[in-house]
Structure 1
Amino acid sequence: MPVAQPLHMSHHKSLMRGVPNHYRTMALKNSLHRGQSDNYHRLRPEAVKSNLLRGASADLSEFIWPKDQWPSLAHNDFQLAQELPTVDLSGLLFGSEEERDKTADLLVKMFSEWGFVQVINHGVPTEVTQKMMIQARNFFDLPLEQKEKGVASSSSKHEGFGYGVESGFYYAGKPWIDRFQCRWSPVCEIREPVEKVFSPSDAEEFSNSIESYNSHLDKLAMQILELCARGLGLPHDTFTKPFNGTAGDCIARMNYYPPCPLSSLTLGLGAHTDPNLLTILSQCKVGGLQVCKNGTWISVKPKPDTLVINIGDTFEAWTNGRFQSVEHRAVVNETEARMSLVYFSSPPTKSLIQIPEQLITAEHPLRFNPSFTWEEYKMYLFKKHVEGNGVKVAKDWLRRPATTSQN
C-alpha cells in the first residue's frame, strides 16, 4: 500500500476553495458509510497510519461528517458567562479539615452539575507537564514512516496500543486526529513501542517523561476519589479501596490535531462520554475541547497549569447518578495544531464496584446496576462496538438491573 504524505500548510488554502457545496453533497451521499470501520477491538490493515494520513483521498471527503454533527461553535469561541468552573486543590496539602471539606463539597457540586471541572494547584509540577508536552510534540513531528514503527499489529500482545490506534468508539465520520496510547497500569507498556520509534537515548527520555507525568496523575486521581467520597458523606476510601493500593486499569494517550482545511465540516473527536472512572486532561494553549452543558456546547479555554477532570460512565453509575458523565468533543481549526495529554483511570478489571447504600434513597432511587466490575462493562462495550452501535448507547448496560446484566 502506498504511504500517504502529510498535508502541509501549502495544501490547506487550495483545499479550501469550493469546499462547502462540493463536500456537503458528498457528505449526504456517504454519511451512512463513513466511520463504520472504527472498531474497538482491532486495528484495520490501513490503521498503521494516523486517521489524518491513512488512505485519505485527495478531496478529503471521508473526513466530512453528517451535517447534523458539524460543529456550531469555533474552537476559540470562549464565553466567560458559561466558563467551565475551577476548583483550587491547594487545601489538600496545606489546608485545615474545614478547608478540605469545602473543597470536597465544591468538587462534588461541580461533578453533579457539570461532570467536568478545571483544577489548579493540583500538585503536578509545571515542568513535568511541559516536558511531557515537548516529548509528545517531538513524537508527532517525526516522519510518518518512523512513527509507524510504533504500531502494534493485530497479533501483538499490545494490540489496541501504540501509534495510530482507533478511538474505541463508532463515530459517524472519520476523526481528524493523530494518536498514540499505551497501557499505563497495572503494567506500564510504554517502552516497547517507543524503543521501535526513537533512538535508545530519545526513547529513554520519552519513556521517563511519560512515566514521571503519569505517576503524578496516579496520586492526583486517588486524591480526587477520596475528596469525592468525603463530599458525598461516605467513608474516605469508598472509591479507592477497590484499587488496593494500585493505580488500577489506566491508559495514557497523546492526541494531536493538525490544522484542518475542513474545520467546519469535521471533528477531531465526535460527541461521546468516557466509559471509564475519571479522565484527567492536559491541553496546550490552543482550544478545541467542548463540553455539552444542558444541550449547549461550551468551548473550554486552556489555562496555564490547569488540568481538566471529567466523570466517566463508570463513576456516574457508582454514585447512582449523583455525578454526571456528560458528552464532550474535540473540534479543530484551520491554522493551529492542538495537542492534549489524556489519563484514563479505571478500577482493577475484576474489582467489584458496589453502589453505596447511602446513595440509594427515596429521593435518589436505584438507577444503575447495584454491583458490577469494570471488566464486565468493557466486555459490553467491546461487543456493542463490534456490532456497530454508536456512542449514544454506551451507558445502556450500566442502567440495566443486575439480573439482566449478562444478557
Structure 2
Amino acid sequence: MATITPLVPQLSPKTPLHAPKLTCVKSLAASADLTSIPSNYTYSASPIEPAASDPEDSIPVIDFSLLTSGDPDQRSKIIQDLGKACKDWGFFMVINHGVSKSLMKAVIEASNDFFNLTEEEKQEFDGKHVMDPIRCGTSYNARLDKVFFWRDFLKVVVHPEFNFPDKPTGFSELALEYCKRTRELARELLKGVSKSLGLEECYIEKTLDLDSSLQIFVANLYPPCPQPELAMGMPPHSDHGLLSLLAQNEIGGLQLQHNGKWVNVNAIPNSFLVNTGDHLEILSNGKYKSILHRAVVNNKVTRISLAIANGPSLDTIVSPAPELVNNESHQTQATYIPMKYKEYLEFQQSNVLDGKSCLDRVKLTLVKSLAESGGLTSIPSDYAYSTNSIQPAASDPEEHSIPVIDFSMLTSGDLDQRSKMIQDLGRACEDWGGFMLINHGVPESLVKAVMESCKEFFNLTEEEKREFEGKHVFDPIKCGTSLHGRQDKVLVWRDFLKVIVHPEFRFPHKPAGFSELALEFCQKTRKLVRELLKGISENLGFEECYIEKTLDLDSGFQLFAANLYPPCPQPELTIGIPPHSDHGLLTILGQNEIGGLQVQHNEKWVDVNILPNSFFINTGDHLEILSNGKYKSLVHQAVVNNKATRISLAIANGPSLDTIVGPAAELVNNESHPAAYIPMKFKEYLELQQSNPLGSKTSLDRVRV
C-alpha cells in the first residue's frame, strides 16, 4: 500500500527557460511548444533514497462504519486504532464513510469545470487577503514564493458562513452538500480522537467551538509537467486546523513523511485521506503530530485533489488541553503557547510555505520554560549530549592555577610595574589563552545591575521575547535558545540574548532601564579591552597602538551576549555550551555567583572559579591569527547544575567587520615562521562560525594553511 520515494525530486541536467510572467499553470502546461519548465518553477533537490518494502510502512485504514457502530467493543477497538494512527502516522485512510461516490465524483468534475473557465472568468475570484472568502490563484503565495509550484487552486471559506463561486452552474450546490457531509464526518472522527486522548467524547467539539468552526474547501489542479523531476506541486508542509479530508481523481501524487522517509499514498477507491493538523498537535500537547506532506507531479495526466480543512472557530484560543498537562496521568509540561486560531491562520497563509515553520513559532522552546515546568525529572532526548564529551574537570588547583592580571598595574605610571604586568599578560595569553582580571575599574554595582537586568529580561514572557528573536547572524538583536535554535541536532541547555552594541549601539527596550545600563557597561568594557590590547601589542614586540590601528578598533565589532543556564534535572547528560573557541580578539566574561565555566589546559578541563568582582578574559581566534599562532584561542565550555540558575555575561570584542585579518607581517618569516593562517575578512569568518555547528576550533581550522 505504501512505497518509499526520494526525499525531494531529482534534478535534471537541462537548464530551463525563465517564464516571462506568472500565469496559471494550466495555461502554461497547455502551451504547445512547452518542452521544459521555466526556471522559476525549478525546485531544489538532493540525491534519491532507496525504496523500502518493510510491511510496517502500511498506511492505517479506519472503517468509519465501525466508529459509528452500536457495538461498544467494535467502537472501542476502532477508537484505539484511530488514536494509534494519529500518534504513529498523523494520517489514515477512511473507508465506509457514508459520503456517496457519485457526490465525490461530481464535485471533482465540477472543480475541473471551474479550472476550465477562461482566465478572465476566474479573475473575478482572485481575492487578495488570506481571509477573503473566495480566492483563486496559482502556486501557494505567488506574491512571496521564490520558487513557484506546479499548481492552480481555488480556496473557499464554506463555514461558519457558506461562500462559493457562481460558476460553473451547479458547482455551488454540489459543494454545499459535499462540505456539509464532510464536516459531519470530521466531527464524528474528532469524537473518536477525543476519546482516544482520554477526554470526553465531545471535548474537542465544545472546547474549540465546532458549531462555528472554520471549514475551507480547497480544489487543487496539477496539470501534466514536461519535467516533473524538477517541479513540485506543493512543498513539504503541515496543515493548520484539526483534520484535513482529501479526495482526488484517480491520479496519485500525495506523499507524506513517515520515519524520515517519503511515502507514496496509494488511495483505496472511494476513501478519504485524512491528515492531522497543527491544532490537533497543539491540543494534544504533541501526543498527535501534524504530518508533513507534499504533492508531486507527473508528465502524463492532470491530477485534481479536494482538500477540506476543518479547524476550530476563528476566535478560539487553542492551547494544550489542561487535562493532558501536569496531572497524575500526564507528567509533562505545556509545550505550546496559546494563540487565537485566526492569528495563526493569517500568519501561515501570509508567509512562504515551509515545513512546520508556523507551528515552531508557538512551541515553548526556551529552556527556562522547560526547566520551570512542574514534574520535570529527566531531560528530553533532544538535549542529550554525548556523555563522552562531558569530562570531569581537573581537580588539582596547584597544577592548574589560572593566571591573574592586575589591571591597575597595567595602567600604572610605574614603568617597572607595567613592564612586569605586560610580561605576565603575554605569558597568560601564550600558556593559557585566558586569565582573571582584577582591579579593572568597572564598578561592582554596575556589573550587578546589568546582571539583574539580564535576569529580568529572561523573566519576560515568551511572547514578549519573541519580538527580539532575529534570524540572521547579523541581525542586531537575537534572542533564542540552544545555539542556532530548534534546528540544532542536539539542543544545549541555554537561553541567550545576543546584541551587536558597536560600532552602532542597539538594545532591547525591555525591561525598563536595561538599555541604559548595558550602554554604560559596554563602553567601560570596550575601553578595558583596548587597554589590554595595548599591553598585548607591546608583548608581541609591536608599538602600543598596533592592534588598535591595524584592526580598526574605532569601528571594532562588539557583541553583548547574556546566557541563562537554568537548573537541569540531569546535568550529567547535557551541556550549556559545547567546547568551542571565540571569534574576535578578547572576550570579557562575568557571571552571577554560580560557576559553570570550564577551560581546556594541557588537554584537561579546568573549573574556573572566578574571583569576586573580577572578569575572566579569554583570547579569541583572531588574536591567534594575528599572532601567527603564538597566542592560542582558548577552548572552553559551560556545564550546568541541578540546583541553581547561572547567568553569564560575555562581551566579545573584535576588529571592524570589513578588516581582513591575517598574521602580522612582522611575525612572519618565510623560512622559520611562515604564515600559518589564510587572511580572511572578519565579517566572513563571523558568518562562517555563527552559521555552523559549534565545535572546538572548527572555524579556525578552515583558515589554517
TM-score by length of 2: 0.46
Contact 1:350 1:373 in 2 (8 A): yes
Distance in 2 (alpha carbons) for counterparts of 1:112 and 1:219:
23
The one-character-per-residue Cα deviations of 1:333-382 (angstroms, maximum 9, x if unpaired) are 01011111111111111123342233225866225236332123235436
Change (3 A) 1:206 1:52: closer
Distance in 1 (alpha carbons) for counterparts of 2:304 and 2:226:
17
Contact 2:210 2:313 in 1 (8 A): no
- 2:14 counterpart SS class: helix
Is 1:63 the equivalent of 2:30?
no
Distance in 2 (alpha carbons) for counterparts of 1:375 and 1:128:
31
Is 1:187 the equivalent of 2:161?
yes
Q: Give the corresponding residue for 2:134.
A: 161
Q: Give the corresponding residue for 2:686.
A: none
Task: Output the aligned Cα RMSD.
Answer: 3.2
Is 1:404 the equivalent of 2:462?
yes
1:247 CA drift (Å): 4.9
State the one-letter code of the partner of 1:116. F
Q: Give the corresponding residue for 2:74.
A: 99
Distance in 2 (alpha carbons) for counterparts of 1:370 and 1:392:
15
Distance in 2 (alpha carbons) for counterparts of 1:96 and 1:171:
50
The one-character-per-residue Cα deviations of 1:288-344 (angstroms, maximum 9, x if unpaired) are 000110111110002211001111111101101110112110000010111111111
Change (3 A) 1:358 1:150: closer
1:163 CA drift (Å): 1.8
Among 262, 266, 278, which residue is 1:301 paired with?
Answer: 266
1:282 CA drift (Å): 0.6
1:133 CA drift (Å): 1.2
Contact 1:71 1:331 in 2 (8 A): no
- 1:23 counterpart SS class: coil
Q: Give the corresponding residue for 1:145.
A: 120
Distance in 2 (alpha carbons) for counterparts of 1:268 and 1:157:
20
- 1:246 counterpart SS class: helix
Among 223, 226, 239, which residue is 2:204 paired with?
Answer: 239
Q: Give the corresponding residue for 1:393.
A: 357
1:243 CA drift (Å): 4.6
Larger radius of gyration: 2
Distance in 1 (alpha carbons) for counterparts of 2:103 and 2:50:
32
Distance in 2 (alpha carbons) for counterparts of 1:323 and 1:382:
23
Query: Whose helix fraction is larger, Structure 1's or Structure 2's?
Result: 1
Contact 1:284 1:302 in 2 (8 A): no
1:244 CA drift (Å): 3.8
Is 1:176 the equivalent of 2:150?
yes
Distance in 2 (alpha carbons) for counterparts of 1:158 and 1:380:
11
Contact 1:101 1:230 in 2 (8 A): no
Q: Give the corresponding residue for 2:91.
A: 116
Contact 2:69 2:75 in 1 (8 A): no
Is 1:369 the equivalent of 2:336?
yes
Is 1:210 the equivalent of 2:175?
yes
1:172 CA drift (Å): 5.6
Distance in 2 (alpha carbons) for counterparts of 1:344 and 1:126:
20
- 5 Å-filtered alignment, 1:37-76, equals 49-51=23-25, 53=27, 60-68=38-46
Contact 2:67 2:79 in 1 (8 A): no
State the one-letter code of the partner of 1:400. L
Among 263, 267, 289, which residue is 2:232 paired with?
Answer: 267
Contact 1:273 1:325 in 2 (8 A): yes
Contact 1:71 1:264 in 2 (8 A): no
Contact 1:171 1:390 in 2 (8 A): no
Q: Give the corresponding residue for 2:700.
A: none
- 5 Å-filtered alignment, 1:284-323, equals 284-323=249-288
Change (3 A) 1:176 1:382: closer
Distance in 1 (alpha carbons) for counterparts of 2:160 and 2:239:
20
Change (3 A) 1:52 1:394: farther
Change (3 A) 1:303 1:159: same
Contact 2:158 2:216 in 1 (8 A): yes
Contact 1:73 1:297 in 2 (8 A): no
Contact 1:71 1:266 in 2 (8 A): no
Distance in 2 (alpha carbons) for counterparts of 1:214 and 1:118:
18
Change (3 A) 1:398 1:157: closer
Q: Give the corresponding residue for 1:6.
A: none
- 1:145 counterpart SS class: helix
- 1:90 counterpart SS class: helix
1:21 CA drift (Å): 2.0
Distance in 2 (alpha carbons) for counterparts of 1:343 and 1:151:
20
Contact 1:165 1:181 in 2 (8 A): no
1:259 CA drift (Å): 0.6
Change (3 A) 1:138 1:80: farther
Distance in 1 (alpha carbons) for counterparts of 2:225 and 2:43:
14
The one-character-per-residue Cα deviations of 1:151-188 (angstroms, maximum 9, x if unpaired) are 23x3x897473321552596662110111111111211
Q: Give the corresponding residue for 1:9.
A: none
Distance in 2 (alpha carbons) for counterparts of 1:78 and 1:119:
23
TM-score by length of 1: 0.77
Among 296, 310, 314, which residue is 1:349 paired with?
Answer: 314
State the one-letter code of the partner of 2:81. L
Change (3 A) 1:369 1:285: same
Contact 2:337 2:364 in 1 (8 A): no
Contact 2:93 2:267 in 1 (8 A): no
Contact 1:214 1:252 in 2 (8 A): yes
State the one-letter code of the partner of 1:259. P
Q: Give the corresponding residue for 2:557.
A: none
Q: Give the corresponding residue for 2:104.
A: 129
1:262 CA drift (Å): 1.1
Contact 1:288 1:331 in 2 (8 A): yes
- 2:12 counterpart SS class: helix
Change (3 A) 1:71 1:376: farther
State the one-letter code of the partner of 1:176. W
Is 1:21 the equivalent of 2:79?
no
Change (3 A) 1:363 1:233: closer
Distance in 1 (alpha carbons) for counterparts of 2:68 and 2:14:
57
